[in-house]
Structure 1
Amino acid sequence: MFEDIRLLGSLSKDGVFVYDIPTEKFVYLNDVLPRIFEIKKAELVQQPSLVFPLIRSEDAYYLRHRYTQLLLDKCLTNNEFRLQFADGRMLHLSLDAYLIAEHSVIVGFVKDQTLEKEHEDYIINYGAKKDTLLDMMTHNLSGPLQLTQNILRWMQQTYKHDAPADIHAQLQLIKNNTQECLDIINDFLQEEHVESERIFVKKTRFDLLERIYNTLEKIIALNKDRKFRIITDLENLNITTDSVKFFQIVHNLVSNSIKFTPENGEIDIMVEETDKTFIVRVRDNGIGIPVRLHESLFERHTPAQRYGLNKEESKGMGLSIVKSLTHLLEGKVSFESEENKGSVFSIELPKD
């Protein structure tokens, strides 16, 4: 069997190893693994512990937990961790491990996915910029266009019998063109909301607090008239879930709070953890939600949709998307709200 693994290791572009648990040494490793860890092969064979100082401390704790799980399940895949080198470089690695030979040998495959992670971060940042642009469209385009519609409607009613027919025709033309612009914006926003539900879940390991800071940074840039805080006792919190969908959940919740929180209002993002889950709460001191809307709040296209404080039109999609994405990630969402006192939305998701 080990001959087959050696043959596989000689062909693989990933690191391949066989680790003997009783002796705590590698009985085989291919040439790729030492290159990944930047440790000479002979030294790595004799001292596997040389890799430990390179592993980020929070990831080392995670790997110890996964090792205990491996002894029970005999197979664990996609165990992500990071290496931090003295010159500041960081590698993102993924480990697949299998327990064989009467529970005394581990066969492992280590993949360098640094480039994939960098691409994923690019997608996240691109998504943040895209959603910031959507917010700009909602606040800076929809509002004025809606105001234009109201003015045109007032003019048509006020001068219904006084203005010449050609003036009324021009007013109606402007009104129709304005409505077309609103329809284009709303259709685009609706499609953007729905799209992510049709994409499969891709779980990766990342620092939740770092992702929230990055998300909030983009939002604050467009909403300097509100006060934002991140409240937590944690320095970092590495979890394994779909980072893109998590970003959209947080972004939608914060954007919803902005819509119903007045200028100089406060919006807090609170993060805590339990043994197996983490909880993110978005709290505001806005206008709150009437009791009559509570039951249907997370449903799509319901009477719960309301205009924002700046007359932003709601398509009744944002919170329903939050609920759908949270369930996709095997979590749950809840809220508490009192009219004229604010709201708190909470999501609870598994760490792994």
Structure 2
Amino acid sequence: MTANNNLYIDIKKIGERSHDGVFIYDYTEQRFLYINPTFIEIFSLDGKDLFAQTRIILDYIFTEDHQYLQSRFQTLLAEGSISTTELKINLEDDKKHLSCDAFLISDSTIAGFIKDITNDKEHENYLVEITAQKDAFLDMITHNLSGPLLFSQNVLSWVQQSVAGNKGDVNSLLLMLQESTQECIDIVEDFLSDEHKDSQGIFVKKTRFTVVDKVNTVLNKLQELSPEKKFKLNVNISDNYITTDSVKFFQIIHNLISNAIKFTREDGEIIITIDEKGSDYIFSVTDNGIGIPDDLKPHIFKKKGLAGRDGLKGEKSHGVGLSVIKRLAELIEGELWFESVEGKGTSFFLKLPKE
């Protein structure tokens, strides 16, 4: 008992100095033994109310988080600790995102630390939104600029052949135009070839977010660039939350939909489906485009394979996109595979654990 008392005293000392919420909770008696001032401030409640009516906190937690928190509590009892357990609370004039680390310090007592991560989540969402705009701009370049530049290059080559033998100043001007056009093409291709590469070497930062919102963020941006194609989103899930790296998830989904656009005709259809199977989500991107020839299928995920193909609008392929995306999927404990019939279309599948 003395050891526990000493531990409680140490935790209380930490609580008085901490900028995070700190608590000690007896879950058999369902009451707080200690809460620090920051904990009270986070929930905007009177400390006396928290001690007298512990379960009042549940009224402020989003309903969809209740089952998730119950599963995390069972993990805490089984393993003795949990970390970065995220939840949302709905206050009278505010919504907050919180993250909790908790430890089982006796047979009936939990010590925990709660951090207000609202600003971090808003910043993360802002970065994803900016990334969506940036990637949409990249797609605009590859779809709307690469093709015309390549066409211009071919026309210049034809004109140069047609005036062969004419005055040197004409040939010199044509050569300058051709070199300038090639430089523009090289800049575009270099820019596009670097997309997503750096993300492979960046550590995985897991956060909890709603999958449908993130997929819609990607889809809405890409729809704006390809209004001639039909898009459909099917959602067949009971839960809407996933805990994974939101940036890497975004990059994977964006690349898969972008590829479908690239190899689907103007009147084609692209269907994005979100299913669940046990503790996993299954995402699929299906198009009725040109499909993948059998001889290229073994090379699809190779870094320097033979699977690179120009898009239907002349977009250049660098043969690295899908190899990078597969690596990103593996980094966040996912699986990526595809099915395709040449001339009929392709489906890419991504399986990710919910937690």
TM range (shorter): over 0.9
Counterpart of 2:104 (choices 99, 106, 112) is: 99
Counterpart of 1:116 (choices 117, 120, 130) is: 120
Equivalent residue number for residue 136 of structure 1: 140
Equivalent residue number for residue 56 of structure 2: 50
User: For 1:55 and 1:2, how far apart are their aligned partners in 2?
Assistant: 27
1:262 pairs with 2:265: yes
Whether the 8 Å contact between 1:210 and 1:236 is mirrored in structure 2 is no
Unaligned ranges ≥5, structure 2: 1-6
Code of the residue aligned with 1:319 in structure 2: it is L
Alignment map for 1:307-326 (pairs within 5 Å): 307-326=310-329
User: For 2:157 and 2:195, how far apart are their aligned partners in 1?
Assistant: 30
| DSSP 3-state at the match of 1:291 | coil
Say what the alpha-carbon RMSD is for the aligned residues: 1.2
Counterpart of 2:233 (choices 230, 241, 247) is: 230
Q: What is the TM-score normalised by the length of structure 2?
A: 0.96
Code of the residue aligned with 2:120 in structure 1: it is E
Equivalent residue number for residue 59 of structure 1: 65
Whether the 8 Å contact between 1:19 and 1:105 is mirrored in structure 2 is yes
Alignment map for 1:277-296 (pairs within 5 Å): 277-296=280-299
1:38 pairs with 2:41: no
Cα drift, residue 20 of structure 1: 0.6
Code of the residue aligned with 1:95 in structure 2: it is C
Whether the 8 Å contact between 2:234 and 2:274 is mirrored in structure 1 is yes
Equivalent residue number for residue 248 of structure 1: 251
Counterpart of 1:274 (choices 268, 272, 277) is: 277
Cα drift, residue 329 of structure 1: 0.6
- Report percent identity of matched pairs: 44
Cα drift, residue 31 of structure 1: 1.1
Cα drift, residue 236 of structure 1: 5.1
Cα drift, residue 235 of structure 1: 6.3
Whether the 8 Å contact between 2:196 and 2:251 is mirrored in structure 1 is no
1:95-127 deviation digits (Å, cap 9, x = unpaired) = 0000012x2100000000000001101110110
User: For 2:268 and 2:72, how far apart are their aligned partners in 1?
Assistant: 43
1:342 pairs with 2:345: yes
Whether the 8 Å contact between 2:236 and 2:276 is mirrored in structure 1 is no
Whether the 8 Å contact between 2:269 and 2:288 is mirrored in structure 1 is yes
Cα drift, residue 85 of structure 1: 2.5
Code of the residue aligned with 2:208 in structure 1: it is R
Cα drift, residue 269 of structure 1: 0.6
Counterpart of 1:193 (choices 185, 196, 201) is: 196
Code of the residue aligned with 2:144 in structure 1: it is N
User: For 2:125 and 2:334, how far apart are their aligned partners in 1?
Assistant: 23
| DSSP 3-state at the match of 1:83 | strand
1:207 pairs with 2:213: no
User: For 1:160 and 1:287, how far apart are their aligned partners in 2?
Assistant: 39
1:218-248 deviation digits (Å, cap 9, x = unpaired) = 1111111111111112365101000001000
User: For 2:133 and 2:221, how far apart are their aligned partners in 1?
Assistant: 7
User: For 1:302 and 1:156, how far apart are their aligned partners in 2?
Assistant: 34
Which runs of 4 or more aligned residues in structure 1 lie more than 3 Å from their structure 2 counterparts after TM superposition?
Answer: none
Whether the 8 Å contact between 1:256 and 1:318 is mirrored in structure 2 is no
Code of the residue aligned with 1:248 in structure 2: it is Q
Code of the residue aligned with 2:102 in structure 1: it is A
User: For 2:192 and 2:266, how far apart are their aligned partners in 1?
Assistant: 24
Q: What is the TM-score normalised by the length of structure 1?
A: 0.97
